[in-house]
A = this chain, B = another copy of it.
């Protein structure tokens, strides 16, 4: 690879994966793969509609980049709301739910992939989200707090390299609620 400089870009990173994927696979591999395929089509579509691009989708994971944190968070909410709506008619033990993490980072682009600690951190944030929930970093929060009418909950500084983490309240009210950032 020639020593020309690698392309860097500031992006919002969305990482999603299936809650209890191993258990679902153990219970019924084929049904799980089918459900995953259906959800992946839905999620990819919402990501695209919100200006994002899917980069990788290995196993039960989906990694996407967005040019804007507002778009990434909006997309994440739409994904969770649509999945919740679809899950309403499905028995508890066969429901497929996702965790989503959103971060922003100055990443390196190479051959259509993205690299950097911002990417790894998005995956860590995702693992801290509740089933059906969204977990974002404090730096992502700073970009959306005055632009999106959402309730946020401050999770803390623990676990992930001393960065601030927030979750989006699932009972979000579209109008009339301020984004609140409680300090510890």
Interface residue ranges, A against B (CB under 8 Å): 1, 3, 5-6, 22, 25-26, 29-30, 32-34, 36-38, 56-59, 61, 63, 108, 110-111, 113, 115-117, 119-120
Contact = CB atoms under 8 A, between A and B. Distances in A.
A58 to B, nearest CB: 4
A110 B56 contact: no
B119 A29 contact: no
20 contacts: A1-B34, A3-B34, A6-B34, A22-B117, A22-B120, A25-B116, A25-B120, A29-B108, A29-B115, A32-B115, A33-B108, A33-B115, A34-B110, A36-B110, A56-B56, A58-B61, A58-B113, A59-B115, A59-B119, A59-B120
A1 B32 CA distance: 12
A1 B110 contact: no
A107 to B, nearest CB: 9
Contacts of A6: 30, 33-34
Contact of A1 (B26, B38, B108, B117): B38
Given A1-B34, A37-B1, A38-B1, A116 B59 contact: no
Contacts of A120: 22, 25, 59
A119 B33 CA distance: 13
Nearest to A41: B1
A37 B111 contact: yes
